[in-house]
Amino acid sequence: MSPASAADSDSADRRPPSVDTLARSIADVGLPHPLLVDIARAAIADGAPDDARDRAVARRRQLLTPVINGTGTLLHTNLGRAPIAWEQDATYSNLELDLTTGERGSRMATAPSLIARACGAEDAIVVNNCAAAVMLVLAGLAEGKGVVVSRGELVEIGGGFRVPEVMERSGARLIEVGTTNRTRIADFERAVAEHGDDAGVVLQVHQSNYRIVGFTEAPRTAELATIDRPLVADIGSGLLDSRCGWLASGPPGWLAREPAARQTLEAGADLVTFSGDKLFGGPQAGIIAGRADLIATIARHPLARALRPGSLVLGALQSTALAYLNGDGDSIPFWRMAALSVDDLQARAAALGVGTPTDTESTPGGGTLPEVTIPSAGVASDGDHRTRLRSRDRPIIARVVDGRTIIDLRTVDPSDDAEIAAALSEAR
C-alpha cells in the first residue's frame, strides 16, 4: 500500500459515522464506496447533506459511457470523434511475440504495417495522436536543426495543437518562409540554400480547420518534393486514399478538397502524419507513414517509446485497417454513416412515428473540412429537450435550432432508432 492510501484509510477510520451512514444511504447510485464517502463528506461540510444523492448522480455521469449522437456531426470532438467499440473480454495477445519463431516480435508489425499497405507506404509507425506524430517526426529527423515551413501553415488546430509550439518541443527550430497568404516554392529554395545542412526537414501542414481565401498561393506537395530535404506532410485528417475504394458509391463529393495519404505520398512526400480518429475512422492515434529508412530512424528515438500505444488501440486500428484492405467501408462505422443516402435517412425518420421528419445538414466535424455540409435527415420536436435527453441512461445528444430539438439520424446507429422514438414520445 502506498503511503498516500495508508493515510487515506487512517483518516477514513476517524471519519464521523454520519458520513458513512450518508454514503451507505446513497449506495444505489452505483458508485464505489470511497467515492460516495468523499461526496457525503463534502455535502456535510457544505451544510447540504440532502444534496449528496444528486452530487453522486452527477459524479457518476462524469464517467465514460456510451452515448447516442443525434447531432449529425460525424466526428464530434466532445463525443470521441469517430465511433469505436471500446469494450472487449480480457485476453493476452501476441503484442510483442512473433508466433512463427517464438522470439520477441514488434508491435509495429500489427496495425502499422497494414495501414502502410493500405495507403501505399513502405512502412508506418503509430503513436498516441497526430500531435505526437508530428512531434516525434521532427524530434527524430530534425532535433537541433531547422524545419522549413510556410508562414501560412503555422496554424492552431483545435485543443491547443499549435504547430510552432509542437515544433519547439520536438527540439527542432522553426525556419519560417513566405507570408500568411502567399508562399512560393522559391521561398523554400532560398531558405534551404541559406541554412544549408541546418535546414533538416521541409514541413507541409494541411489547413484542416480554416481556409485562407482570395489572394493566396502555396506550393503543391509535388513542388516541395523537388527540394533536397525530407518532406513531411501533416495531412491531419487521415483520408487514406482519395479514390475511396472501400465505398461502393465511390468518393463522396464533400471530400473533394481533402488531401489523402496515398496521393500525398505519390506526389513525393517522404512521410505523412495523420490522426487515427478523424477520416480514418478508428481510435485516437497518430500515424506516421512513408519511407522505411525514415520510419526506422524515427522508431529509434527515445520519444517513440514514450508515445507508443498499447494493444487496445493497436487492436482497434488493426480491425479498421483490415476493413480498408478488404474494401469493406461498411464495417467502419464512420464510413458506414458518412455514406448513408438521404433517402434511407428520410425513410428512417418517417418510420420513427414521432416528431416531425425534417431535412438536416450533417457535418464531418473533428476539425476537418470547414464549411462542408452533408445533406441528411432526422426528426424535429418543438421545444428544447436536450437536458432531458442527456439525462437518460444512454444519453442522447441533440441540437436545438430555432426552438426545435433536432435529431439527425446520420450519426445514429439504426439499432438505436427505437430508443430515439421512445425518448421523443416521453418528451411530449
Task: Name residues whose C-beta falls within 8 Å of residue 72's C-beta, 6 or more positions apart in sequence.
Answer: 360, 361, 362, 363, 376, 378, 399, 406, 408, 410, 411
Nearer to ligand PLP, 277 or 417 (CB): 277
Give min distance, CB of 238 to ligand PLP, in A: 8
Nearer to ligand PLP, 22 or 205 (CB): 205
The answer to whether 161 contacts ligand PLP (rule: CB under 6 A) is: yes
- Determine the Cα–Cα distance for residues 221 and 282; give it in Å rounded to an integer: 26
Give min distance, CB of 156 to ligand PLP, in A: 10
Nearer to ligand PLP, 161 or 335 (CB): 161
Residue 228 DSSP label? S
Question: Which range touches ligand PLP (CB under 6 A), out of 129-137, 292-300, 390-398, 405-413?
Answer: 129-137
Q: Are 384 and 405 in contact (CB under 8 A)?
A: yes
Q: Are 311 and 157 in contact (CB under 8 A)?
A: no
The answer to whether 130 contacts ligand PLP (rule: CB under 6 A) is: yes
Nearer to ligand PLP, 107 or 206 (CB): 206
Tell me the three cell numbers of residue 69.
449522437
Instruction: State the CB neighbour count (10 A cutoff) for residue 303.
Output: 18
**Which residue in the block uniquely carries the three cell numbers 439499432?**
415
Q: Torsion angle, CA of 18/21/27/33, rounded to 10 degrees? A: 70
Triad 376, 381, 386: Cα angle to 5°: 90
Q: Using CB under 6 A, which residues numbered 248 to 277 contact ligand PLP?
A: 275
Residue 104 DSSP label? B
| Single-letter code of the amino acid located at 71 | T
Q: Using CB under 6 A, which residues numbered 205 to 234 contact ligand PLP?
A: 205-206, 208, 234
Nearer to ligand PLP, 187 or 234 (CB): 234
Nearer to ligand PLP, 199 or 369 (CB): 369
Q: Using CB under 6 A, which residues numbered 364 to 393 contact ligand PLP?
A: 367
Residue count at the site for ligand PLP (CB under 6 A)?
14
Which residue intervals of 384-416 are DSSP H helices? 386-390
Distance of CA 57 to the CA centre of its chain: 28
Give min distance, CB of 368 to ligand PLP, in A: 6
Nearer to ligand PLP, 21 or 77 (CB): 77
Q: Using CB under 6 A, which residues numbered 42 to 61 contact ligand PLP?
A: none
The answer to whether 237 contacts ligand PLP (rule: CB under 6 A) is: yes
Query: Of these, 236, 283, 309, 315, which contacts ligand PLP (CB under 6 A)?
Result: 236
Q: Which of 269, 264, 284, 255 is nearest to 372 (CA)?
A: 255
- Contacts with ligand PLP by CB under 6 A lie at 129-131, 157, 161, 205-206, 208, 234, 236-237, 275, 286, 367
